Amino acid sequence: MNPTVDLKVFISSSDSSCTECGESLGHGAWITLVEGKGALCLACADLDHLVFLPPGNAALSRRARKRSTLAAVVLKWSRPRKRYERQGLLVEAQALEQAEGECLADEEARACRREREAMRRAELDYHYVERFAHRVRELFPGCPAGRETAIAEHACLKYSGRIGRSAAGKSLDEDAVRLAVIAHIRHTQTRYDELLARGDERRDSRDQVEEEVSRFLAEWEKNR
Ligand SMILES: [Zn+2]
Contact 219, 185 (CB under 8 A): no
Distance of CA 61 to the CA centre of its chain: 17
Encode the chain (224 residues) as per-residue pLDDT tens digits. Answer: 334 567 999 998 888 899 999 988 888 889 998 877 789 999 889 998 899 999 888 888 999 999 999 999 999 988 889 899 999 999 998 899 889 888 876 666 677 778 777 777 777 777 888 888 999 999 999 999 999 999 988 887 766 544 334 454 566 788 889 989 999 999 999 999 999 888 888 889 999 999 999 999 999 999 88
Helix (H) or strand (E) holding 87: strand 83-92
Strand-pairing partners, residue 40, are: 32
Work out whether the CA dihedral 139, 145, 149, 152 comes out positive or negative. negative
Helix (H) or strand (E) holding 137: helix 126-139
193: nearest Cα among 214, 217, 209, 182:
209
43 Cα–ligand 1 center, Å: 6
58 Cα–ligand 1 center, Å: 32
Ramachandran assignment for 152, one of left (phi > 0), alpha (psi -120 to 50 degrees), beta (any other): alpha
What residues flank ion ligand 1 with Cβ within 5 A? 18, 20-21, 41, 44
